[in-house]
Amino acid sequence: MHSRIVYSQNISIAAHFAKQNPAGPPTMSHLPALPVTAMNQAVSLPTRTAALPASLLDAGPGERPDGWTRRPADAARQAHFAIRAEADADVLCKLLNLFALQGWLPAEVHAVQAGEWLQVALRVPGMPERRGEVMAERMRSLVSVATVELAFSSF
Pairwise CA distance, residues 133 & 35, whole Å: 48
pTM to 2 decimal places: 0.57
Q: Which of 6-10, 48-52, 77-81 comes out lowest in average pLDDT?
A: 6-10
Question: DSSP 3-state assignment of 110?
Answer: strand
Mean pLDDT confidence for 35-40: 49
Strand order of the sheet with strand 108-114? 108-114, 117-125, 77-86, 145-154
**Which pLDDT score, from 0 to 100, does residue 57 have?**
59
Give the helix ranges, DSSP H, for 77-149: 91-101, 129-140
| Integer CA distances (angstroms), 32 to 28, 29, 35, in order | 9, 8, 10
Summarised one tens digit per residue, pLDDT across range 40-61 is 445 555 555 555 565 555 656 5
**Which pLDDT score, from 0 to 100, does residue 63 have?**
59
Summarised one tens digit per residue, pLDDT across range 126-153 is 999 999 999 999 999 999 999 999 999 9
**Which pLDDT score, from 0 to 100, does residue 4 have?**
45
Residue ranges and CATH numbers for the domains of the chain are: 75-154 (3.30.70.260)
